[in-house]
A and B are shown apart, each in its own frame.
Chain A
């Protein structure tokens, strides 16, 4: 079945550092890919998405590029802030079917 693999956390970085959270997927066909973020005590919020190969999703300084050849959708940000501390989930989905999520990566940014 479909699956998403994320890098293990937790990840701790200093403010203004460069961030990469790796995400690879296994799926039959070409899914849409998503990054969601979960702040403490809240539900998941869509951060960005890409619906086809070579698409780049971006939002709030975060970017991820849909790489079909490596089945990857790595999340990057050039300069992280304390407010970026959260749990990040990579996910895949087809049409209006369910989303399949990775296990999440906890990110902590220290001032």
Chain B
């Protein structure tokens, strides 16, 4: 158990809809990272937050947004969903202090857009 909790585990929705994915990081971890894992593109970095503030952006579409709340949990919002957004979405956390500490991953949310 990595200590990172993601909900829901599975999500099935229709094109054009909006969904929210939730992540609770390990206790004490200040940094949260979101990744998208699809069959054809591997693991793609979406966005990073540190202690409530956006720290880095990767290949995140404008239809997607995220935030990290004062209690350090994070949400990833996906809107105007398309078939191609079907993927596994992972959240990971690390303490954010020191260097090169490992990322701890949740078990992911599998999103299916029909």
Interface residues of A (CB under 8 A from B): 32, 34, 36, 41-46, 49, 51, 89, 93, 95-104
Contact = CB atoms under 8 A, between A and B. Distances in A.
Nearest to A43: B105
B2 A45 contact: yes
Interface string B56-90: 10100000000000000000000000000000001
Given A41-B107, A104-B42, A96 B94 contact: yes
B25 interface: no
Contact of A46 (B4, B98, B103): B103
Given A95-B99, A96-B94, A42 B107 contact: yes
Interface in B98-114: 98-108
A51 B108 CA distance: 27
A30 to B, nearest CB: 11
B100 A49 contact: yes
A49 B42 contact: no
Interface in B14-62: 31, 33, 35, 42-43, 45, 48, 50, 56, 58
A43 B108 contact: yes
Contacts of A41: 107
Given A43-B105, A43-B108, A45-B2, A98 B33 contact: yes
12 contacts: A32-B100, A41-B107, A43-B4, A43-B90, A43-B105, A89-B43, A96-B50, A96-B97, A96-B99, A96-B101, A98-B33, A101-B43
B96 A96 contact: yes
